[in-house]
Amino acid sequence: MAADDFIANKWTQLAGLKNGPVSAESYRSPAFYQLERERVFGRSWLIMGRVEEIAKPHSFMVKEIEICEASVLITRDGEGRVQAFHNVCSHRHNLLVSEPQGCSQLIRCPYHGWAYGTDGELRGVPDEKCFVGLDRKTAGLAKIATEVWNGWIFINLERKPSVSLEDFLGDFGSFLANMEYPNADNPIVVEAQLDCNWKVVADAFSESYHIPVIHPETIGTTFASTSNRTGRLMDARFFGPHRFCSMYGNPDYRPHDHQKVEQLAYSQVQTGSTIAAGKVGSMDAFLAHPSVNPTRTKSWSMDVNFVFPNFNLDTGPGGFWTHHFWPTSYHTTRHEVRFYVPKALTVRERFQQEHYLSRVIEVLVEDVSNVARVQRGLESGAKDAMFLQDNEALLRHSVHHVEKWAKSATVQEAMSE
């Protein structure tokens, strides 16, 4: 293909948006952040993780949603049901569980020893006789609306969600439904505390225009080539507040002669691409899904499935990986990444995974080392607006929908066409 075969100049139009400058305010305004707290994160369905993280009965995990000051305890009870609760003891509101995960039939508060079952019921109160009129039935843990969809655990912090998960996902649910998730039980977990607004880092993982420039040595030659020098998109689709794009990959990429360690790492392990850890063969059902590489091109590196507001489900020839962009203030973010890899069975597979992880961490470091510079530029107030090109349509779509949710008094209004 020649370079101009990739010029579409239609993604922005497909997103239902107009070209032109985009306001920078939502990236730097403390007042806007308060609206995001109440109206975006406070009302959206949020992906907290996968069911495999709490596979056994009575296992649980704790997740923080800093922007909403919520500590969320997600349990699997003895019957196998998955439910989220506020991680708050009913007695004096002490945070109940302090470790990130555990497995126990009883969860005991470290302050006065109140004990709860993994179903959230209050099971034990030391010196209960002195609590006059205490009704255990009304003193269980505070439930949070929870849905499990294709193995993803969603919660909604509204006491009574304004929108069902099905309606929230809309056509994006149909697009992603029934995807296989290879190695879902074996994530590598990575975290970075970043000095930027959460959308600055989310943007960095929603376009491939930056890849040949920021990542010239790590992945510049895998995401671009002489036929697509600037990482133009292969496909983009928009589903209400959610979005998708498919990125170009150079099918001719091979390690250079001097890259002896890279050659050794990949020499006896069959992975789906040069930067992947999944095993060929185990990926067939996953790769056959119509929404994984939907254009069915050989020149494919990865797809981004952006679940509004803050979650990326990425797919590539070697499997899937995820990003969570958790705001911690209007200009700081906790960025969580999970790479799902097969369990290494041999020394060579394990060495290949180490090389793979080393390389993807370098890519992440290239991205996240730049975001603080963007934030400083934004906060300098030098400019009122950003110029976005057609292949950055996902960013334009993101700002549009975050602003729409922030402006809308009701979720119905935010979700309206």
Partner 1 sequence: MNNSLLPAAFADLEAHVAEWALPSFDARMQHRAASSMDNIRRFYDAMQPRAEAALAHLENFPLDVLPAAEQRLMHMLYALAQAAMAVEIHGQPKVGHAKLPIAVRVLREPLPV
Q: Which residues bind partner 1 (CB under 8 A)?
A: 186-194, 217-218, 256, 258-262, 264-265, 277, 341, 343-348, 350-351, 353-355, 357-359, 361-362, 364-366, 368-370, 373
Q: Which residues contact 345 (CB under 8 A, 6 or more apart)?
A: none
C-beta of 120 vs 318, nearer to partner 1: 318
Residue 301 Cβ, how far from partner 1 at the closest point, in Å?
17
- Beta carbon nearer to partner 1, 112 or 373: 373
Whose Cβ is closer to partner 1: residue 80's or residue 100's?
100
Whole-number minimum distance, CB 354 to partner 1, in Å?
5
Q: Tokens standing for 45?
A: 């369905």
Shortest Å, Cβ 187 to partner 1: 7
In whole angstroms, what is the distance from residue 276 CA to residue 223 CA?
Answer: 14
Nearer Cβ to partner 1 (227/370): 370
Residue 203 or 262 having the CB closest to partner 1: 262
Rank residues 45 and 340 by Cβ distance to partner 1 and give the closer one: 340
**In this complex, which beta carbon is closest to partner 1, that of residue 139 or of residue 264?**
264
- Closest approach of Cβ 348 to partner 1, in Å? 6
Round to whole Å and give the CA distance between 23 and 385: 4
Measured from the CB atom, is 100 or 110 closer to partner 1?
A: 100
Closest contact distance (angstroms) between CB of 186 and partner 1 is: 7
In whole angstroms, the minimum distance from the beta carbon of 51 to partner 1 comes to 17
**Smallest separation, CB 18 to partner 1 (Å):** 34
